[in-house]
Structure 1
Amino acid sequence: MNDFLAARSQMALSLGFHIIYSCIGMVMPVFMAISHYKWIKTNDHVYKNITQAWSKGVAIFFATGAVSGTMLSFELGLLWPKFMEHAGPIFGMPFSFEGVAFFIEAIALGFFLYGWNRLNKWFHWVTGIVVGVSGVISGILVVSANSWMNSPAGFDYVNGQYINIDPLKAMFNEAWFSEALHMTIAAFAATGFAVAGIHALMILLKRNVNFHTKAFKIAIVFGAVAAILQPLSGDISAKGAARRQPAKSAAMEANYHTVPYSPLLIGGIPDTLNKKVDYGIEIPGLLSFLVYDDFKTPVTGLDKIPQQYQPNVPVTHYAFQLMVAIGMFLLLIALIYFFALWKKKEWLTKDWFFKLFVIATPLGFIAVEAGWTVTEVGRQPWIIQGVMLTSQAVTPMPGIQYSFYLFTFVYFTLSVAVVFLLSRQIKMVPELYDR
């Protein structure tokens, strides 16, 4: 493994783990605040027990997210010094604001965890709200920084120099809203279905049914609503990518040829040598309609992109197809859930109904990983779209592969610890919670 591949692999590994912790860290405090509010309003101690149980999970993911996020911050400087040298002054603002949001979240979480029976109940609840709001804001700010890499703004690039820097324009670049919206909804969908799936499993196993049923209802409402909204935000993101990053858009669809009535491809195996796709289903004109709102306008294909600036088509295409397929499956389950609430309440007690959510438990996070693969691999070979190549930004320091091996060990050890702590937390839910 050469140093360039090792640096990219280490960054991919770090982002792959951190994004899971971040999504849960963004969303779980919101669930926690909702259950806490229900306890205050109803005085039903099951909701208090749910809040306390979830707050311990929030603490676990806050700690692991802080560790993985700190490691990522160091990696940006260590692995990509040229990138940080030029880009740091431009897109550093959202990172600095994210640091402020992180500290506010940490302080509020401390108040919340240690405030039981010590603080006014409404003030205590507000600290939980602050944890949730700060977590969501942190996620949006980080995505804003990433969106700048896809849609650089707030500077002029003249003779290799970055001048006329405007950090606000960089922060609120053309891609930030669509990417932040899509990622925030994805976080709620993935976390909502994962939490609901765990509680659904406990219901199927007949363990603390009252406790897990109430927890399931809170989580799945958010997850299901997010799953229904996600295709809409995905459409906004895809249209933006087609306009700003035609190479990424073409790789997502494995669109090798620029033609009128550009077809939407479902599935298929890209043949990069012969510039075609095998075994795919094409719907003529639909890609043109989705991008330009008419069926005839050609969508830019890979034939219009110089070979050296084309991303890895198979990886980008497979990741995009996987993300869309999972999104459609979660949308179907969400619609089934709301239909059951509306017309078929007897389904809400059936084993097959809860098995659907158990099956869906990991799928949202798989879709999140696939989506970030599309975002990052689809931008290659650029680290800053159209401005700086990834190969120009990598550190000249040798031996990066050993750092990659070390970080791999650290992340997997951290994940094992998280799984152990969470499984122990789930098993510690006492029968008392069922009262």
Structure 2
Amino acid sequence: MTTPGTLLNLGSLSLTDPEQLLPAREQMAFTLGFHIILVPFGVALTTFMLIVHYRGLRKGDADALLLARRWSKVAAVLFAVGAITGTVLSFELGILWPGLMKNYGAAFGFPFAIEGLFFFLEAIFVAIYIYGWDRMPPWAHFWSGIPVPLASLGGTAAVIAANSWMNQPGGFTVTNGQVTSVQPGKVFFNDAFWLEFLHMFLAAYIVAGFVVAGVYAMGMLRGRRTRYHRLGFLTGFVVAAFALPVQMVVGDTIARYVFDKEPAKFATIEMLPRTDSHVAETLGGVLIDGRVRYGIKIPDLASVLADFRPSTTIKGLDAVPVEVRPTVAQTNIVHWAFDIMVGTSSFMLAVVVWFGWLWWRHRDKLAVSRWFLLAASLCALLSIACLESGWVVTEVGRQPWIVVGHLLTRDAVATHGNLWPFFSSVLALYLAVGTAAVWVLWSMKRRWEQQGDDMVSVPYGPEDGDDRHSASIEGTVS
């Protein structure tokens, strides 16, 4: 259950900003950044689970069924953690941002009502699927899992609808500062929805795919070169490999959409102080005293990316009214986050190309190339960094607005009480939940390595004494 929010602002607060603004932003940044990592596994890991489950039933593949069973348990743990962190985020909207909920809750709250329905649907079928391993007929059990990724995807779409609405608000009428008329369809399917949703949908499969592949790549580096590990690696990596090039095309399309619809955010991404044409793309660098320093410039590239022409004029930060202009710190954060997002995506794409070459020319060496497995393992971490960076671009790039053109972040924050103790308690809660989740997953991993609790008979699954882990890595995944 994902909740959009306003992310970290490292710039100094102005004299007109309430003192609660900094802790509110810090807390929302931390909780959203923590929770967003869990979202891809609800959408994509459960899809991988069903892919190998289907393979296991169709081909009588004991390795595939074992993967499906184990991944279902991992998905259940991550779902429980996501339920806790998502619930906290929901409470934060009312506690930290009462101005948003009071003035725009009638519109902003509609997608969250839809998300709540999908959340409960997902919880029901997660329980049925986990319970059904020892109790349901094979195909009935498989079909009981189909609603899980669909419900997770529906919930994600609802939250993306809320977030995209904050970037491109529409479908409502404001009278005396209050929303008086809401058109639910236009709120949900706002102008920014489809591109943002597709971007997050692909990101989910990229992150989950590379993380799953990275886990099995590390196992193979440690000598566990069995068919079981090969199948686990290929299931995640192949899906991510197909999604990544499509994602880069979608990201390029979104960049031009932002140039057209959100010029202030585009100027922040490009770290462009003044309106100009023939704008160079700056890699790295920092904005100091109105000038970009220490960056690497590629002539005309920013203008070409904006509208395919070197002569394209890009509005700079000077075109944004001073009272709603992003701070220098925000500009540097967004620019660097964008560079990290593009840089990590490019590295992962290079690894995908490497994988394709190995698969085409040296398939027998795919699992014994130590350098490739190291690179694939690194993609697991880089995919998460890419995801986080993308959300920083989206959230910080919208500042100082919480609802673009309608409500400033400083006007939405709570103005009474000390929010730092609340932030501290949330940090403690997340630390406890995160530690418990890691401990549970690590314990499950150790049990599985010792061939523990999964070595039981199921109506159609692996039987006791199966020699599944002795298969050679040279075995094909047909």
The separation in 2 between residues aligned to 1:160 and 1:79, in whole angstroms, is 20
**CA distances 1:310-359 after superposition (whole Å, capped 9, x unpaired):** 22111111111111110111111111112221223244021222111112
Whether 2:383 is the aligned partner of 1:335: answer no
2:146 counterpart residue number: 129
1:308 counterpart residue number: 323
Which runs of 5 or more structure 2 residues have no equivalent in the other structure? 1-12, 14-18, 452-466, 471-478
Q: Within 5 Å, which residues of 2 pair with 1:266-285? A: 266-271=283-288, 273=289, 275-285=290-300
Which is worse superposed, 20-29 or 194-203? 20-29
Aligned length: 433
- Counterpart of 2:377 (choices 358, 380, 384) is 358
Q: 1:79 to 1:433 in 2, by over 3 A?
A: farther
Whether 2:133 is the aligned partner of 1:98: answer no
SS of corresponding position for 1:282: strand
**CA distances 1:385-424 after superposition (whole Å, capped 9, x unpaired):** 1100011111123111100011011112211111111122
Shift of 1:118: 2.0
Shift of 1:208: 6.3
- Counterpart of 1:373 (choices 377, 392, 396) is 392
The separation in 2 between residues aligned to 1:292 and 1:208, in whole angstroms, is 48
Contact 2:69 2:133 in 1 (8 A): no
- Counterpart of 1:322 (choices 340, 346, 350) is 340
SS of corresponding position for 1:288: helix
Shift of 1:147: 0.6
Contact 2:216 2:229 in 1 (8 A): yes
2:475 counterpart residue number: none
Counterpart amino acid of residue 302 in structure 2: L
The separation in 1 between residues aligned to 2:357 and 2:142, in whole angstroms, is 32
RMSD: 1.6
1:288 counterpart residue number: 303
1:108 counterpart residue number: 125
Higher share of residues assigned helix: 1
The separation in 1 between residues aligned to 2:180 and 2:99, in whole angstroms, is 16
1:86 counterpart residue number: 103
Q: Within 5 Å, which residues of 2 pair with 1:66-215? A: 66-207=83-224, 209-215=226-232
Shift of 1:114: 0.8
Whether 2:405 is the aligned partner of 1:383: answer no
Counterpart amino acid of residue 240 in structure 2: G
Counterpart amino acid of residue 337 in structure 2: A
Stretches of 4+ aligned residues off by more than 6 angstroms: none
**CA distances 1:86-124 after superposition (whole Å, capped 9, x unpaired):** 222113222111111111111111111011242231221
Q: Within 5 Å, which residues of 2 pair with 1:40-51? A: 40-51=57-68
Counterpart amino acid of residue 337 in structure 1: F
The separation in 1 between residues aligned to 2:81 and 2:414, in whole angstroms, is 27
The separation in 2 between residues aligned to 1:294 and 1:155, in whole angstroms, is 36
SS of corresponding position for 1:115: helix
The separation in 1 between residues aligned to 2:203 and 2:431, in whole angstroms, is 24
SS of corresponding position for 1:362: helix
Contact 2:103 2:177 in 1 (8 A): no
Shift of 1:158: 4.4
SS of corresponding position for 1:379: coil
Contact 1:190 1:223 in 2 (8 A): yes
SS of corresponding position for 1:203: helix
